[in-house]
Amino acid sequence: MAAGLGFKTFTTGEVLTAADTNGYLMQGVNVFANATARDAAITSPQEGQACYLKDTDAVMTYSGSTWVAVGGTVSFNTARNYVATSETTSSTSFTGLTTAGAVTVTTGTKALVSVSAVFDNAAGANVLAYMGFAISGATTVASADEYAVGAKFWAAPGNFKNKQGATFLVTGLTAGSNTFTTQFKKGAGDVPAFAERTIVVVNLGS
């Protein structure tokens, strides 16, 4: 297959050469039954060349080294961790609880992280509570209020129990295997408890 020559407007009476045919006229989207048929027909693909495969309904272009689906391959690596048991902390800085909740996902530089839990004040009347997450592995990021869901409740002990949750877009990750670990802390007041703790991570690529 000849390399594409770009675009040309032919003039009346101009002789159509083999080079014109290969360089201009053959540069459309060639249709094949599948990749095997394409590779048999195009043994020397040229960078920028396009094809359509009927078996996958995919339009592909040749990068110079491989055929790549137009629009790229979207891969949503996902993971979820759930801890049902209710546990508590008196820490005013983020900490894991007795039963750790974590997921490890191979990500690009962006991920969507969702955390949720049932917050309650079984152990005290007035509670300010937060649930966030730390990242370790390819990326190291400490838990922060910016990426935490919180609740403040003033009620008699045991009279507040509510599912809280939030979703955060995290950017600037180092692509690779990243571990997202739930973390918790209390603010002013008594100690909160956290049950039905869930973390979900969706890789958004780079």
Residues that bind other proteins (CB under 8 A): 85-99, 123-125, 154-159, 183, 185, 190-191, 193
Pairing verdict, β 29-32 and 50-53 = parallel
Query: Of the two residues 41 and 156, which places its CB atom closer to other proteins in the complex?
Result: 156
On whether the CB atoms of residues 144 and 132 are closer than 8 A, the answer is yes
| Closest separation in Å from C-beta 137 to other proteins | 17
Query: Of the two residues 20 and 190, which places its CB atom closer to other proteins in the complex?
Result: 190
| Closest separation in Å from C-beta 189 to other proteins | 9
State the Cα–Cα distance between residues 143 and 184, nearest whole angstrom: 9
Here the tokens at position 2 are 């000849």
On whether the CB atoms of residues 118 and 196 are closer than 8 A, the answer is yes
Query: Of the two residues 138 and 191, which places its CB atom closer to other proteins in the complex?
Result: 191
Here the tokens at position 104 are 């490890």
On whether the CB atoms of residues 158 and 123 are closer than 8 A, the answer is no
Query: Of the two residues 60 and 127, which places its CB atom closer to other proteins in the complex?
Result: 127
| Closest separation in Å from C-beta 124 to other proteins | 7
| Closest separation in Å from C-beta 144 to other proteins | 14
Amino acid at 145: D
With tokens 């801890």, the residue in question is 83
